[in-house]
Amino acid sequence: MLSRAARFAGRTLRGEWYGIVVDPLRQLRRRGPGALLLAVVACLGVIFFHALAQHPAGATAVRAVGGVRGDLPLWLALLRTPVSLYVPALDLPVWAGITQLFLAFALAELSLGRGRTLLVAYASTLAGTLSVRVMLAAGPGWWAFGLPPEVGQVLDTGPSAAVVGLFTFLSVVRRAPIVFTLTGGSMVLESIAKPNLAGREHLIAVAAAVVMGLLHERARRRGRMPSLSLDPSTG
């Protein structure tokens, strides 16, 4: 029984290693450094906004162009959401976040192509942003789903929701349960250990990425979408 479980774990790890790491590295070797354009731009954007926010005037400008809160008018929140992908949380170590951001965008860009990577990243972030508005509208005490009005003044998660969404989407389409457990499972633990707005948004991002991944696989099986083992450079 133990040997069977060990063989299964070994096959799973090997499959995930090739699907999540080896195949993208092959794409990188074939397509060159230009295949990492999104990853580089995302990291440079985070570094730029982080450096800008270190000064009072810069922090005000960053909030004005990329700070998304639940109490903003919907049109303004939607306008700022794309920029919020590059606005890091100032209370977290920026370099650790940049490492995760680069890996998520790099692996996704090499596996999915730029179009799908941007779609998954933006949709995951937008799902969290819109869900907060629903929770605020529900109000506190609604089956632990609603949020009090003061939470509407808390800034959204920034690029972390996109990172979680990309890793989750990759784990679904690459059939990588271990990666999924490390991403989605860690978000569940985070929301339990430290129930806050970021934890809720991360869970919503995971759920949105799972749905997108399942829809992608359904379309692929029906022949409406090419396999991710093919060249994704135009995706």
Report the CATH number that the domain containing residue 79 is assigned in CATH.
1.20.1540.10
pLDDT in the model for residue 109: 93
Inside any domain, residue 234: no
**Gap between the Cα atoms of 207 and 204, Å rounded:** 5
Nearest-CA neighbor of 41 among 52, 33, 30, 32?
A: 33
pLDDT in the model for residue 151: 85
pLDDT in the model for residue 6: 65
Q: For the residues of the chain, what is the DSSP string, one character each?
A: -HHHHHHHHHHHHHHHIIIIIIHHHHHHHHH-GGGGHHHHHHHHHHHHHHHHTTSHHHHHHHHHHH--BTTS-HHHHHHHHHHHTT---TTS-HHHHHHHHHHHHHHHHHHH-HHHHHHHHHHHHHHHHHHHHHHHHH-TTSTTT---GGGGGSB--TTHHHHHHHHHHHHHHTT-HHHHIIIIIHHHHHHHHS-SHHHHHHHHHHHHHHHHHHHHHHHHHTTSS--TTS--TT-
Number of structural domains (the chain) is 1
Inside any domain, residue 229: no
Inside any domain, residue 74: yes
pLDDT in the model for residue 186: 78
pLDDT in the model for residue 226: 58
Inside any domain, residue 169: yes
Q: Give the residue numbers spanning the domain of 59.
A: 2-221
Inside any domain, residue 231: no
Inside any domain, residue 233: no
Residue type at position 186: S
Task: Give the residues of the chain that fall short of pLDDT 50.
Answer: 229-235
Inside any domain, residue 228: no
pLDDT in the model for residue 231: 42
Inside any domain, residue 215: yes
Q: What is the mean pLDDT of the chain?
A: 83
Give me the half-sphere count of Cα atoms (radius 13 Å) on the Cβ side of residue 52. Answer: 19
